[in-house]
Amino acid sequence: MPAETERTLIIVKPDGVQRALVGEILSRFERRGLRLVGLKLIHIDRPLAEQHYAEHQGKPFYDGLIEYITLSPVVVAVLEGPHAIQVVRNTVGGTRPHEAAPGSIRGDFGVDVGRNLIHASDAPETAQTEVALYFKSNELLSYQRDVDRWISG
Ligand code: IDP
Ligand code: MG
């Protein structure tokens, strides 16, 4: 029986867009087997940044984090597939790029936690909240691809 399908949110952060890594990053998730169900380019404003990173308020890096995520446009996407939340977190790699595994996005393209290229939801509850923060339900498309039966069985 196919594994349970999940949806999760990713954000290609301002450094990912500025360094022209959007295609490379999205491509890694496509090649992994995940399906894009939502995608857009936006500029995150301060209120949205504060909502997104509410759990980090009061931490020493908070002000810098809010500045970073609002510096320039980002690409937000919702990815769907079996175990999507964990699959995406593993593909993204550890928070600190200098410690992230080679082969992961952060481990291949980053060196500094202050510019770690990408956000990904970390659990089912946060995935649900974060998807709803960036996408209206009619912006998320449900569909099947012919290849899906070769990705999950
Ligand atoms: P995650 O993005 O891997 O889930 P979190 O611990 O949730 O990592 O932190 C959220 C974001 O805050 C990180 O992706 C990174 O951009 C930033 N951040 C976390 N720790 C530090 C730090 O020590 N210095 C600067 N920025 C940090
Ligand atoms: Mg996090």
- pLDDT tens column, 14-66: 999 999 999 999 999 999 999 999 999 999 999 999 999 999 999 999 999 99
Residue 35 lies in a domain: yes
Range of the domain at 107: 5-44+74-139
What's the whole-number mean pLDDT along residues 83-110? 98
Residue 57 lies in a domain: no
- What lies within 8 Å, CB to CB, of 149 at 6+ separation is none
For the cut 80, the answer to whether the pLDDT of residue 5 exceeds it is yes
What domain count does the chain have? 1
Indicate yes or no: pTM above 0.85.
yes
Residue 18 is part of a domain; what is its CATH number?
3.30.70.141
Residue 153 lies in a domain: no
User: Which residues are designated catalytic?
Assistant: 119
Residue 15 lies in a domain: yes
Kindly give the number of the ligand 1 atom that is closest to the alpha carbon of 95: 3
Residue 26: the pLDDT is 98
Residue 9 lies in a domain: yes
- The alpha carbon of 121 and the centre of ligand 1 are apart by a number of angstroms equal to 12
- The alpha carbon of 5 and the centre of ligand 1 are apart by a number of angstroms equal to 27
Residue 52 lies in a domain: no
Residue 2: the pLDDT is 61
